[in-house]
A and B are shown apart, each in its own frame.
Chain A
């Protein structure tokens, strides 16, 4: 089955460290997204990409960067992690504007 995968699934890191979260998809979708989920705040969009040459900031991009290495891969980086970046991070894909988004299983990140 075509899928959206995220690695790692869990990560504990220290303040100031650089960390990369990876997302891969076999759905053949052009659109990819990174969200973070915090209790009581729902999901908030960090970055999104229409293709390898198109990267867009979302609602809360400060402190994050992304790389679209290929149609199937979209990585999220925290250049210098801080404790308030502790959250559940989701990757999603979509094949159409305004269409259904397909979510990965999530990465639980803890910054100590």
Chain B
């Protein structure tokens, strides 16, 4: 079955601390993987996707096919990073997104 697992519902860190939001997926083929973010009172929006291999707002995510993971990392968290983060998988050659249950990141001053 195709599934995305985000094991942490809540992750709390202090400003300046490193952050890692975990995402594991279950899919037999070659997935497209995404991180979406929802800031308070804003719409859900794309943060980054694995094929672009870029860093957005200091965040990076590396696809590890061996561990079937796509963890989101940032070396120094900022208060404005506080938001709900969703990992999502798009099975090959489909138009669907399968979302994880989300992780709320709280960054304290």
Chain A residues near B101: list those with CB within 8 A: 40-42
Check B94 for interface membership: any CB of A closer than 8 A: yes
Name the B residues within 8 Å of A33 (CB-CB). Answer: 97
CB pair A98–B43 under 8 Å, yes or no, is no
Of residues 73 through 112 on chain A, the ones whose CB sits less than 8 Å from some CB of chain B are: 90, 92, 94, 97-98, 100-106
Q: How many pairs, one residue from A and one from B, have CB atoms within 8 Å of each other in the complex?
A: 49
B residues with a Cβ closer than 8 A to A are: 6, 9, 32, 34, 43-46, 49, 86, 90, 92-102
- What range describes how many residues of A lie at the interface? 20 to 34
**Nearest 3 interchain pairs by C-beta:** A42-B101, A103-B44, A43-B99
Chain A nearest CB, measured from B21 CB (Å): 14
- Pull 15 A–B residue pairs with CB atoms less than 8 Å apart, ordered by A: A31-B95, A40-B9, A41-B101, A42-B99, A43-B86, A43-B97, A48-B95, A92-B44, A97-B94, A98-B32, A98-B90, A98-B92, A100-B49, A104-B43, A106-B43
